[in-house]
């Protein structure tokens, strides 16, 4: 903790400091090295520390970050910067190292972007790695998706999904058969959740065991909402059950391992847009089904859960042209970005891509179509120095598995359902209705008549 007692403008030149305990004293303006008074309170001693922390004022901090002072204080309110009060009690000071670290890692905010910071113990995303609840992701990818879901839900108990009750199963089958054959998978998943909710008389129970039980039923019902293309073993895990609904191919062990890896690495990734929507629903004490409906409403689209569909189509085009670079060239001539590359957080490479790409290579490395994927990867990474992200690997999985282009969106949504519910469980422990942003009216002013 910063020191609480201040000594200001004292000359220690003739004082013996040998027997004085300075552990809890803040020497805001004193330079004990040569007894000269520092002009501004820019240094703080910390208990048991042997070095000083340099503090800078708001003008310098804003200058280093290239922002206005109002934005600087917005960073403080979001938890991105720590502010200390100067000795005079009127001015603000900022840790120069913290400011510089933020400057190095700060991306330019989008026009009109709203920033918010929420404490969470689920997923740590840091530099070039991430993990769930203190476990690195590479230690979890070999575990079944349902086990990892239980891990992020922080609950001991059976991880296997329950059987969908017969009455609910009949309802789901009727709705499933009522969709057009080419309906998007995400629409089928969205229709499944209200059906599951209507079958649960205890849906308003927000205790952890009840929410986890509801989550397991939701995922099982979502799976049942997708028409199977072949049968799966009754003991099949989620990856195999999902495979037979998305791909016409008979699954091999390596195929299931690749799909399970995709499900695991996509479970959560901090406060993504859909996750924030889910937490807002939980903050007003929406039940598990309402939370998932909120997440499903925000996850659709090529800017979030369906990003891999564009990658899938890029690979299809490369196969049609017989050249990966030609397919990339078409995109660039249209003035578009090549999908599946770059990430706002991971500058040294998306670890989720690496994990899934390894599994995709093991399963499909001998497929002739894989050459075009490697060609695109090498061309973009070499020329633009931009690395592939998880959407690139997910698009490769769905393409090489002969799944429809929108299959990646279904994989993403089903996996992220577990993450949304983990965030809901955290949010239920917070004060309700804490997300109350203000609207600033910018329309025309009514005229008196």
How many other C-beta atoms are found inside a 10 Å radius of the C-beta of residue 105? 12
Looking at residue 178, the DSSP 8-state letter turns out to be H
Looking at residue 84, the DSSP 8-state letter turns out to be E
Q: What are phi and psi of 195, to 5 degrees?
A: -65, -45
Q: What are phi and psi of 217, to 5 degrees?
A: -65, -40
> Whole-angstrom Cα distance, residue 359 to residue 396?
11
Q: Which two tokens stand for residue 224?
A: 């049942």
Contact 221, 171 (CB under 8 A): no
Query: Angle at CA 294, nearest 5°, toward 291 and 295?
Result: 90
Q: Which two tokens stand for residue 110?
A: 């989008």
Cα 162 from chain centroid (whole Å): 27
Contact 208, 156 (CB under 8 A): no
Known catalytic residues? 304, 343, 391
Comparing CA positions, the residue from 422, 124, 148, 129 lying closest to residue 261 is: 148
């Amino acid at each position: 903790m910063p020191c609480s007692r201040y000594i200001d403008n004292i000359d220690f030149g003739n004082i013996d400091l040998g027997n004085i305990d300075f552990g809890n004293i803040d020497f805001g303006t004193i330079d004990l090295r040569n007894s000269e008074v520092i002009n501004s309170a820019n240094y703080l001693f910390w208990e048991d520390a042997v070095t000083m922390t340099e503090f800078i004022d708001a003008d310098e901090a804003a200058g280093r970050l290239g922002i206005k002072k109002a934005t600087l204080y917005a960073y403080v309110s979001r938890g991105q910067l720590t502010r200390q009060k100067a000795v005079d009690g009127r001015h603000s000071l900022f840790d120069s190292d913290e400011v510089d670290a933020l400057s190095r890692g700060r991306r330019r905010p989008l026009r009109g972007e709203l920033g918010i910071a929420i404490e969470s113990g689920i997923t740590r995303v840091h530099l070039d790695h991430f993990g769930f609840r203190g476990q690195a992701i590479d230690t979890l990818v070999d575990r079944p998706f349902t086990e990892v879901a239980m891990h992020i839900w922080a609950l001991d108990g059976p991880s296997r999904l329950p059987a969908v009750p017969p009455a609910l199963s009949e309802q789901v089958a009727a709705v499933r058969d009522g969709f057009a054959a080419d309906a998007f998978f995400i629409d089928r998943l969205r229709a499944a959740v209200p059906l599951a909710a209507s079958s649960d008389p205890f849906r308003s129970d927000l205790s952890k065991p009840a929410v986890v039980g509801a989550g397991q039923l939701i995922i099982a019902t979502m799976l049942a909402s997708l028409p199977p293309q072949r049968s799966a073993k009754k003991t099949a895990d989620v990856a195999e059950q999902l495979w037979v609904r998305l791909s016409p191919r008979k699954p091999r062990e390596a195929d299931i391992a690749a799909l399970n890896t995709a499900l695991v690495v996509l479970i959560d990734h901090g406060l993504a847009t859909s996750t924030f929507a889910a937490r807002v629903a939980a903050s007003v004490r929406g039940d598990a089904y309402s939370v998932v409906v909120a997440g499903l409403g925000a996850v659709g689209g090529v800017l979030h859960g369906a990003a891999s569909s564009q990658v899938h189509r890029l690979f299809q085009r490369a196969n049609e042209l017989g050249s990966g670079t030609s397919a990339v060239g078409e995109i660039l001539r249209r003035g578009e970005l090549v999908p599946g590359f770059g990430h706002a957080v991971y500058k040294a490479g998306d670890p989720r891509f690496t994990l899934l790409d390894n599994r995709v290579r093991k399963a499909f490395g001998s497929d002739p179509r894989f050459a075009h994927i490697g060609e695109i990867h090498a061309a973009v990474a070499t020329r633009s120095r931009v690395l592939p992200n998880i959407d690139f690997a997910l698009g490769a999985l769905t393409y090489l598995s002969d799944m429809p282009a929108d299959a990646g969106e279904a994989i993403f949504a089903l996996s992220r359902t577990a993450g949304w519910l983990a965030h809901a469980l955290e949010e239920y422990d917070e004060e309700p209705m804490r997300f109350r942003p203000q609207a600033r009216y910018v329309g025309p002013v009514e005229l008196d008549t």
